[in-house]
Structure 1
Amino acid sequence: MGIGGGIALIVIGAILAFGVRDSIDAIDLTMIGYICIGAGVLALILALVINAQRSNTTHRQVVDQRTVGTVQAAPAPQATTPAVQAPAAPVQQTPVQPVQQTPPQTPPPSGY
């Protein structure tokens, strides 16, 4: 139920509580109207609280990177202030050498 559902319950409850003067045996429409108003107010408050929490969340995007080449050990952490940090050094990549394949050698046919 959201904000619209809470408002709808408040409106329906107000109509039943203040606008309907008919009576049905064993059913008090005024009390049902008040109950609908209370449920609508509660639903409206809960919807607003949940929407406020949803807007305060932060989202992170994780990007995985794959590097090709040799693995280098990470340098030891240095005692620097967090505001001043040196930029990270680029990763040195080793070019890949193509593999030359020779065709399989078959013995010459015999019997000729």
Structure 2
Amino acid sequence: MKVFWSSCGDGLPSEEAREVDLREACLIWSDEVRGVEGNFLGLIDSQDRTVQFYFEDGIPDDVDDARHLRIVLMDFPQPDRGGSYGKRVAIGEVHGLIETAFTGGADHRRFGELTFTAW
């Protein structure tokens, strides 16, 4: 699996995505990608499918434990269809969703009910 991310201007662009294992992908999510609106982590599988975890909102300053906040958009871009499948997930769900992507690829059909949104 390849990884790319952006966190407050730092990161690795998708065209420079690099191979990582599950442990490293989870560390990048928890240690590199800050809970700020617009920051994201993306994974590209061996079939060139992508899943992205995008902060649609930032974590409020007064929140000590943000795991319950449903402020992350899990997004599966479908360029050939001109849109994406996605849904909002809680921050605390992302590690498990990353693991799902590593075990079965970034196939949107493996991630439950999603909504298609045209671009």
TM-score under structure 1 length normalisation: 0.22
Q: Which structure has more strand as a fraction of its residues?
A: 2
Higher relative contact order (CA 8 A, sep 6+): 1
Q: Which structure has more helix as a fraction of its residues?
A: 1
Which structure: larger Rg?
1
TM-score under structure 2 length normalisation: 0.21
